[in-house]
Amino acid sequence: MAKIIDGKSIADEIYRELRKEVSTLKDKPGLAVVLVGDDPASIVYVRNKERACKRLGLNYKLLKFPQSISRDELLSSIRTLNEDREINGIIVQMPLPKHLDAFDVVSNIDPLKDVDGLHPDNLGRLSSGKPRIIPCTPLGIIELLKRENIDIRGKNAVIVGRSNLVGKPLFHLLLSLDATVTVCHSKTIDLKRETSRADILVCAVGVPRLITVDMVKEGAIVIDVGINKVEDKLVGDVDFERVKEIATFITPVPGGVGPMTVAMLMKNVITAYRLQKGKV
């Protein structure tokens, strides 16, 4: 029976550490969130970020725009935030409407204020082994593993999902910690063959219970990033109830990776503040 990794309690521990750090800073770091449209899930995520800022005493600013905002209007607002000395972190809540290109929008954020770690400059530094600001969910996954004293070196790590948000940056993080890393995706020919040899298995594709017990190696460490709604219930990408019987560690959904993502965002805001003050 697996040990269930309690992401919420680990995140609470991180908030206590960050609160102490914030109390030593000369100014309060500030986060600006840009929300385009009224996607219900995005509104919930934005609210969670505001709550986290209040919890740490950080300044928080929400810029809400209609779905129809033009590229020029949006980029103009981002440039204003880039120049605002009271704002240390900027995030653009995804997904964006189809007429706006996410890569284009994120590329216009000052890389030192890009607390999602998705600016090409920050992703390039990560892939070069010289990270500066790291995407929040992959950073949270590594933090979970470290705080459970899980040694990553030499392990076979398999990531299911190749998004810029999770899969690709996590590949570089695990590689830098001396794991042997495989990335699977929708064109992988034999997914079960790949996942069943993983010592560390991470699934981040958004398909409910995609990973079944026969796809998991006995004794594996299973990290479930998926959040899916099935009959008004949140479930992950892993068949949690069955897989927990053979894994050594497993994250639940909800309460696993999710709380860590927001905690790491707060950590990144403080990192960005220090970078801008020349203290990193």
Name the pairing type of β-strands 228-230 and 233-235. antiparallel
Q: Per the structure block, which two tokens stand in for 126?
A: 């990560």
Distance CA 36, CA 31 (A): 16
Closest C-alpha among 212, 221, 213 to residue 256: 221
Contacts of 10 (CB under 8 A, 6+ apart): 143, 144, 147, 259, 260
Q: Which residue has tokens 């500030």?
A: 30
49 assigned to active site: yes
The residues near 47 (Cβ < 8 Å, ≥ 6 apart) are: none
DSSP designation for 211: B
Q: Is 130 considered catalytic here? A: no
Question: Does the annotation count 93 as an active-site position?
Answer: yes
Active-site residue, selected from the candidate residues 49, 113, 155, 217 = 49
Structure token pair of residue 4? 């269930």
The two structure tokens encoding residue 207:
């398909």
Active-site residue (options: 114, 116, 237, 239): 116
Q: Which residue numbers are catalytic?
A: 49, 93, 116
